[in-house]
């Protein structure tokens, strides 16, 4: 394969240090594909107001996991590992591309152009398509490509909820997690990032694709789980039950052990390191339960193999 192919791993990004938190939140709330704050002309002023209000609490939470999010560093490690995995398959340049923090799409595209790639593959690190995550990142990538006048051919991988090596890597994490409890009875709980119900009503496949992942995973592990949703905010109606409500329901039923699987996250960040490993673990303890979580997939070799497979399958299919 003589042509040079660029691969961009699309992710949300996160503040790397305390002073990044406010501008990161502003970028996040400025995106109308995630949340519409009144009419379009008010989006950015309202985003600035909300960011200022939320920044102190967010800084406090990020301080608890080391001062900032590890997601940018981990996505860079994943990109390096995927490039290494593709080394014998052709001439590939693999880089991270973040939606709300550095490196933004414009910088990633300029790097690809400078490296003289002939085409791009956009691979969101969200297994399940949602207009607020993959959809927003892909839209931004297209727009920046157009605005910069690069017009690089971009192939998009929308989602991959049942990719075999992805499911196998998840299954290995679940078995590893269950082993921590010995022979005790354990309830598996899948915690996914929540989503406003209106997205599903408008046809977003996010929930269906999460259930596809769960079915494929349970076929391998033989262990059934229950689904709940974390990280919701704001006054709109969100998917239910919330992770906290699920913990209360299980405690009432006499559950003693929970293995939490962050089903919609493929690397560690604030939702896993703080919300699950600190907040929900502490809440479970208050309710008389032991909660452990599966480790993030991060740069696990089998997960990297899944990403390599997705790139190669997309090339061959095209």
The answer to whether the beta carbons of residues 106 and 98 sit under 8 Å apart is no
What is the rounded (10 degree) CA torsion for 40, 41, 46, 52? 120
Taking the C-alpha atoms of residue 148 and residue 238, their distance in angstroms, rounded to an integer, is 37
DSSP state, residue 278:
I
Q: Is 240 annotated as a binding residue?
A: no
The answer to whether the beta carbons of residues 129 and 43 sit under 8 Å apart is no
Q: Is 193 annotated as a binding residue?
A: yes
DSSP state, residue 220:
H
Taking the C-alpha atoms of residue 130 and residue 139, their distance in angstroms, rounded to an integer, is 12
Residue 261 in 3-state DSSP? strand
Residue 206, both tokens: 């996010």
Q: What kind and span of H or E run contains 28?
A: helix 21-29
Phi and psi at 200, nearest 5°, equal -65, -40
Cα dist. 186→33, 78, 224, 281, 291 in Å?
Answer: 38, 31, 10, 15, 10
Give which of 165, 145, 100 is closest to 6, Cα–Cα. 145
Q: What kind and span of H or E run contains 293?
A: strand 290-293
Q: What kind and span of H or E run contains 62?
A: helix 43-64
Report the phi/psi class of residue 235: left, alpha or beta, with left for phi > 0 and alpha for psi in -120 to 50. Answer: alpha
Chain centroid offset of residue 288 CA: 30
Mark the binding-site residues, compressed into ranges: 193, 271
Mark the binding-site residues for Fe(2+), compressed into ranges: 193, 271
């Amino acid at each position: 394969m003589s042509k040079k192919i660029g691969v961009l791993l699309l992710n949300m990004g996160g503040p790397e240090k305390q002073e990044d938190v406010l501008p990161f939140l502003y970028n996040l709330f400025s995106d109308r594909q995630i949340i519409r704050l009144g009419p379009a002309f008010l989006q950015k002023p309202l985003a600035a107001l909300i960011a200022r209000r939320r920044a102190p609490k967010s800084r406090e939470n990020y301080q608890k996991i080391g001062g900032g999010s590890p997601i940018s560093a981990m996505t860079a490690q994943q990109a390096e590992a995927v490039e290494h995995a593709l080394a014998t398959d052709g001439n590939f340049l693999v880089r991270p591309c973040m939606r709300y923090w550095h490196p933004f799409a414009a910088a990633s595209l300029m790097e690809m152009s400078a490296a003289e790639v002939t085409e791009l593959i956009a691979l969101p690190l969200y297994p399940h398509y949602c207009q607020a995550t993959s959809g927003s990142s892909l839209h931004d990538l297209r727009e920046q490509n157009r605005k910069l006048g690069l017009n690089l051919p971009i192939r998009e991988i929308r989602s991959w909820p049942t990719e075999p090596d992805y499911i196998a890597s998840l299954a290995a994490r679940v078995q590893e997690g269950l082993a921590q409890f010995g022979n005790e009875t354990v309830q598996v709980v899948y915690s996914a990032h929540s989503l406003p119900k209106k997205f599903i009503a408008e046809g977003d496949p996010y929930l269906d694709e999460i259930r596809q992942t769960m079915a494929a995973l349970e076929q391998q592990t033989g262990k059934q789980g229950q689904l709940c949703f974390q990280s919701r905010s704001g006054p709109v109606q969100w998917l239910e039950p919330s992770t906290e409500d699920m913990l209360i329901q299980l405690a009432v039923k006499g559950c003693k052990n929970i293995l939490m699987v962050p089903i919609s996250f493929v690397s560690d960040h604030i939702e896993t390191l703080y919300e699950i490993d600190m907040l929900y673990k502490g809440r479970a303890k208050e309710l008389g339960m032991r909660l452990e979580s599966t480790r993030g997939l991060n740069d696990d070799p089998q997960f990297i193999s899944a990403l390599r497979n997705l790139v190669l399958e997309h090339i061959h299919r095209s």
